C-alpha cells in the first residue's frame, strides 16, 4: 500500500510578486490550468492508495481544502501549527498512519515540483517500492545534467535492486565541485522526494533523533478534528527540534538507497526555472496573459490584470499583478528574495497578500482606498456565510451587484437582490450569507478612522476562525 504524503508548506519568496507568504507558489497555476498542488495529487493518483495526506500551514488550510474540493476527491489535511522542517512533518504523517493500525509505504512529495514525464516517474516509484518493502529508505535522485549549485547532491554506492546504496549526501557545492560531480556520473540531485515504510522511518528516527520523535509522539497524542482538518497539540510540536529529513535520518541511516529519475524534474525555485520548463515562442519568450512585445527575446513576461508591453529587451523577467510589478534580469532572479525581505522588514502587505484575498467563504478584492475609506468587491460562494461580527472603527455600506444576499443587522434579517443596498453603522453586529445557487457579488464601501482587517470582533464563525 502506497500512501501519498504531500508537503505543502513554504512561501516561494523567489516567485514574488505572484507568490506571497499567505498564497505561495504551491497553490498557484504556474505551468497549467491546475495548481501545482492539484497537479502533484493527480500525478500519483494511479499508484497511490486511499486519500492523500496533505501537510500544510495553519494559514493555508482553507486554500488547500478548496483546491482539493475542486478535484472532487477526499484528502486528509494535517495542520502544522508552526514550521519545524521536513523530519518532524514526515514523523507526523508516519505516526498518524501507524495510529490507524496501518503501516503503508509513504511516498513523500513536495507540492511545488514540476515533473514533465509523469508516466516514467510512476514507473520509477513502483521500482522503488520493491526496495522500500524490504526496509530501505529510498530517496529519488535526479540525473544531474548541469552543474547546479542550488541543489544538494547524492553520491551513489553499490547497485541495489533498481537503485543504489547511498554512499553520501553532499551539501550544495560551488561551481567547480558541481561540475566535477556531473562529469563523474556518480552523483544525483537530491529531489527531496522519498519512499519508505512508516514504521521504518520511525525506527530510524528513534535511533538518530529521539528528541524529534518524542515531541511528535506528544503532538499526535491529542488529535482534534476540525472541519476538513486534523489538528495536533501545538505546545508539544513547538518544542520539537527543527531539522530536515536529510540531516536527521537519511544521512545517518545505513538503509538509505537512491533510485534515479530522468523525468524533466524542476523545483521551480525562481522565475528562470519557470522559463526553463515552459513552452517558448520562436524568439525564446514565455508569454502569459495580455502581453504585446516587439524586439524582445529569451524573456518571461506575465500579466495577470492589465496590458504589459515590452520593447527592445532580452533575458528579462517581467511579472505584473494587480498591486505590484517585477522587472528583473533573468540571471539575477534568485535575488528576488531580497525584495521580499525588504517588504517584510517594512511590514508592507505586498509581502503577504495579493490585492485579491481568498477566504473560506469566497474572496474579496480591494479595488480602491484613501484617507478614511476603502472599497472592496466581495464574492460569496453559494451556501456560504461570513462570520457574525462587528467593528469598532468603521461603518460599511453593501450594494448587491448580482445574486441574492441574506443580511443580519443587529436583531433584523434582510434579503437583498441586485441594485439593493444596506448600511451597517459602527458597532452594529452583522453577518452576510449567500442563500442562492449562484455566486453573490457585492461592493463594500468602508468609512471610518481605522480600516485594517484586525478591526473585526467575531461572535460566531462556521469555519472555526478566532
SS (H, E, C) 303-315: ECCCCEEEEEEEC
**Cα–Cα distance, 44 to 57 (Å, whole number):** 22
What confidence tier does 11 reach under pLDDT thresholds 50, 70, 90? confident
- Predicted confidence at residue 390, as pLDDT, reads 97
Q: String of b and e for 203-214 (b: at least 16 CB within 10 Å)?
A: bbbeebbeebbe
Cβ 111 vs Cβ 251: under 8 Å: no
> Which grid cell sits at 219?
503532538
| Mean pLDDT to the nearest integer, 362-368 | 95
Percent of the chain exceeding pLDDT 90 equals 92
**Cα–Cα distance, 395 to 19 (Å, whole number):** 32
Asked whether residue 43 carries a pLDDT value surpassing 90, the answer given is yes
In CATH terms, the superfamily for domain 356-460 is: Jelly Rolls (2.60.120.10)
- Predicted confidence at residue 334, as pLDDT, reads 92
Asked whether residue 225 carries a pLDDT value surpassing 90, the answer given is no
Burial of 151 (0-12, 13-18, 19+ CB in 10 A): buried
Cβ 149 vs Cβ 175: under 8 Å: yes
What confidence tier does 463 reach under pLDDT thresholds 50, 70, 90? confident
Q: Which residues contact 36 (CB under 8 A, 6 or more apart)?
A: 25, 26, 27, 28, 29, 30, 111, 112, 113, 114, 268
Q: Which residues contact 367 (CB under 8 A, 6 or more apart)?
A: 355, 375, 376, 377
Neighbours of 59 (CB within 10 A): 14
What confidence tier does 2 reach under pLDDT thresholds 50, 70, 90? very high
What confidence tier does 224 reach under pLDDT thresholds 50, 70, 90? confident
What confidence tier does 10 reach under pLDDT thresholds 50, 70, 90? confident
- Predicted confidence at residue 218, as pLDDT, reads 96
Beta strands in 51-148 (DSSP E): 53-57, 76-80, 105-110, 114-115, 137-143
| Mean pLDDT to the nearest integer, 408-417 | 97
Q: Which residues contact 72 (CB under 8 A, 6 or more apart)?
A: none
For residue range 285-310, list pLDDT tens digits in order. 999 999 999 999 999 999 999 999 99
What confidence tier does 464 reach under pLDDT thresholds 50, 70, 90? confident
- Predicted confidence at residue 223, as pLDDT, reads 86
**Cα–Cα distance, 57 to 396 (Å, whole number):** 32
Cβ 18 vs Cβ 319: under 8 Å: yes
**∠247-253-258 over CA atoms, to 5°?**
85
Asked whether residue 424 carries a pLDDT value surpassing 90, the answer given is yes
> Which grid cell sits at 291?
502581453
Asked whether residue 214 carries a pLDDT value surpassing 80, the answer given is yes
Percent of the chain exceeding pLDDT 70 equals 100
Q: In which element (H, E) is residue 436 found?
A: none
Asked whether residue 465 carries a pLDDT value surpassing 90, the answer given is no
144-151 long-range contacts, Cβ below 8 Å, gap at least 24? Answer: 144/181, 144/182, 144/187, 144/188, 144/189, 145/182, 146/182, 147/175, 147/178, 147/179, 147/181, 147/182, 148/178, 148/189, 149/173, 149/174, 149/175, 149/178, 150/269, 150/334, 151/189, 151/190
Residue the block writes with cell 554506492: 157
For residue range 117-136, list pLDDT tens digits in order. 999 999 999 999 999 999 99
Domain boundaries defined on the chain = 2-266, 271-342, 356-460
Q: Which residue has the higher pLDDT, 240 or 223?
A: 240
Q: Which residues contact 371 (CB under 8 A, 6 or more apart)?
A: none
Cβ 181 vs Cβ 187: under 8 Å: yes
Beta strands in 251-315 (DSSP E): 256-261, 265-266, 286-288, 291-297, 300-303, 308-314
For residue range 329-359, list pLDDT tens digits in order. 999 999 999 999 999 999 999 999 999 998 9
- Predicted confidence at residue 12, as pLDDT, reads 84
Residue the block writes with cell 497511490: 48
Q: Which residue has the higher pLDDT, 12 or 54?
A: 54
Q: Which residue has the higher pLDDT, 462 or 159?
A: 159
Residue the block writes with cell 503503508: 104
Residue the block writes with cell 506571497: 20
Packed helices 36-43 and 118-133: angle between N→C axes, nearest 10 degrees: 60
| Mean pLDDT to the nearest integer, 148-165 | 94
Q: Which residue has the higher pLDDT, 107 or 464?
A: 107
For residue range 267-285, list pLDDT tens digits in order. 999 999 999 999 999 999 9
| Mean pLDDT to the nearest integer, 54-71 | 94
| Mean pLDDT to the nearest integer, 381-405 | 97
Mean pLDDT over the full length of the chain: 95
CATH of 2-266, one of 3.40.640.10, 3.40.50.10860, 3.40.50.300, 3.90.550.10: 3.90.550.10
Amino acid at each position: 500500500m502506497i500512501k501519498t504524503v504531500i508537503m505543502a508548506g513554504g512561501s516561494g519568496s523567489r516567485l514574488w510578486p505572484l507568490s506571497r507568504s499567505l498564497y505561495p507558489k504551491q497553490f498557484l497555476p504556474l505551468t497549467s490550468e491546475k495548481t501545482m498542488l492539484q497537479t502533484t495529487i493527480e500525478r500519483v493518483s494511479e499508484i497511490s492508495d486511499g486519500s492523500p495526506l496533505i501537510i500544510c500551514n495553519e494559514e493555508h488550510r482553507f486554500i488547500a481544502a478548496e483546491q482539493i474540493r475542486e478535484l472532487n476527491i477526499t484528502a486528509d489535511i494535517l495542520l502544522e501549527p508552526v514550521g519545524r522542517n521536513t523530519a518532524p512533518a514526515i514523523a507526523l504523517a508516519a505516526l498518524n498512519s501507524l495510529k490507524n493500525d496501518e503501516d503503508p509505504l509513504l511516498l513523500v512529495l513536495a507540492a511545488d515540483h514540476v515533473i514533465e514525464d509523469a508516466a516514467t516517474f510512476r514507473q520509477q516509484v513502483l521500482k522503488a517500492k520493491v526496495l522500500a518493502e524490504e526496509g530501505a529508505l529510498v530517496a529519488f535522485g535526479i540525473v544531474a545534467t548541469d552543474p547546479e549549485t542550488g541543489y544538494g547532491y547524492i553520491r551513489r554506492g553499490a547497485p541495489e535492486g533498481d537503485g543504489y546504496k547511498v554512499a553520501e549526501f553532499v551539501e550544495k557545492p560551488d561551481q567547480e565541485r558541481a561540475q566535477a560531480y556531473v562529469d563523474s556520473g556518480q552523483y544525483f540531485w537530491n529531489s527531496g522526494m522519498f519512499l519508505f515504510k512508516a514504521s521504518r522511518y520511525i525506527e530510524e528516527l528513534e535511533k538518530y533523533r529521539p528528541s524529534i520523535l518524542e515531541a511528535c509522539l506528544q503532538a499526535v497524542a491529542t488529535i482534534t478534528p476540525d472541519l476538513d482538518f486534523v489538528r495536533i497539540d501545538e505546545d508539544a510540536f513547538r518544542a520539537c527540534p527543527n531539522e530536515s529529513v536529510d540531516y536527521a535520518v537519511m544521512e545517518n541511516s545505513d538503509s538509505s538507497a537512491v533510485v534515479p529519475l530522468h523525468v524533466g524534474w524542476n523545483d521551480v525555485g525562481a522565475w528562470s526555472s519557470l522559463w526553463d520548463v515552459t513552452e517558448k515562442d520562436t524568439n525564446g519568450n514565455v508569454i502569459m496573459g495580455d502581453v504585446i512585445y516587439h524586439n524582445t527575446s529569451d524573456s518571461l513576461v506575465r500579466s495577470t490584470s492589465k496590458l504589459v508591453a515590452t520593447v527592445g529587451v532580452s533575458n528579462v523577467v517581467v511579472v505584473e499583478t494587480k498591486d505590484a510589478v517585477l522587472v528583473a534580469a533573468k540571471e539575477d532572479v534568485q535575488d528576488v528574495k531580497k525584495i521580499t525581505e525588504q517588504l517584510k522588514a517594512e511590514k508592507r502587505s505586498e509581502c503577504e497578500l495579493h490585492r485579491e484575498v481568498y477566504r473560506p467563504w469566497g474572496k474579496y478584492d480591494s479595488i480602491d482606498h484613501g484617507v478614511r475609506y476603502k472599497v472592496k468587491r466581495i464574492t460569496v460562494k453559494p451556501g456560504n456565510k461570513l462570520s457574525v461580527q462587528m467593528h469598532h472603527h468603521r461603518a460599511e455600506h453593501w450594494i448587491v451587484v448580482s445574486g441574492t444576499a441574506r443580511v443580519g443587522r443587529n436583531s433584523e434579517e434582510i434579503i437583498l437582490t441586485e441594485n439593493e443596498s444596506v448600511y451597517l453603522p459602527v458597532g452594529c453586529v452583522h453577518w452576510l450569507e449567500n442563500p442562492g445557487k449562484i455566486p453573490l457579488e457585492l461592493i463594500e464601501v468602508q468609512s471610518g478612522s481605522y480600516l485594517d482587517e484586525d478591526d473585526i470582533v467575531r461572535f460566531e464563525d462556521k469555519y472555526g476562525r478566532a
